[in-house]
Chain A
Amino acid sequence: NAGVTQTPKFRILKIGQSMTLQCTQDMNHNYMYWYRQDPGMGLKLIYYSVGAGITDKGEVPNGYNVSRSTTEDFPLRLELAAPSQTSVYFCASSYSGPGQGTNSPLHFGNGTRLTVT
């Protein structure tokens, strides 16, 4: 198993550009998440999905979009990049919801470091 694979690892965008962060998992997990991590802050949930075709907003969704056409893939789209979106982005997955029992740990990708200038 490759686990959760995120690409790219690093990216520099100019203000107003768009890009897609790719995330794929090979563990047949239903739940997938996108988080951002800013210095000195806890991870913040951007969007999540509980299965193919189902997505929902998290805590900080503005400026982002997602889709979940397959169980494996959960890309994050940034439209009109802004300096406030400079952050490290993590994709994660789990078999069941994070509060549903104690046998479904989160699996994280290695992160994407994005700079918007």
Chain B
Amino acid sequence: KNEVEQSPQNLTAQEGEFITINCSYSVGISALHWLQQHPGGGIVSLFMLSSGKKKHGRLIATINIQEKHSSLHITASHPRDSAVYICAVPGRSGGGADGLTFGKGTHLIIQP
């Protein structure tokens, strides 16, 4: 079973700041997920990545397979980015159909 550690657990920043959220996992994987949970509770998928970097708007996700580490960056942060950001990896090394192992999430608050 893969273990997932996220840091920080909580992050409060001012609007406009550059945000970095980190995720480390213990077993080699084929893909890593970044998810966003809105204050209302809904969960949406932000990224799936297996190497390098992906960008969507102001969000950037990177992964270093050798170091078993991924980061999620938010540029020019805005109060609407306030949410819980969750990292997840396949439950078994090498992937598989038995769902994901989730980190506990990073609770991000962007103040105006």
Contact = CB atoms under 8 A, between A and B. Distances in A.
Contacts of B100: 43, 45, 98, 106
Nearest to A43: B102
A99 B41 contact: no
A99 B45 contact: no
Contacts of A88: 41
A108 B43 contact: yes
A75 interface: no
Interface of B is mostly: loop
Nearest to B50: A102
Contact of A98 (B33, B42, B49): B33
Contacts of A106: 33, 35, 45, 100
A97 B96 contact: yes
B30 A105 contact: no
Nearest to A50: B97
Interface stretch (A16-24, A33-41, A62-70, A79-87): A33-41
A42 B33 CA distance: 14
A41 B101 CA distance: 11
B86 A42 contact: yes
B48 interface: yes
Given A40-B104, A42-B4, A108-B42, A102 B31 contact: yes
**Shortest beta-carbon contacts, A-B, top 9:** A99-B95, A99-B90, A42-B102, A105-B45, A45-B99, A108-B43, A97-B97, A102-B48, A43-B102
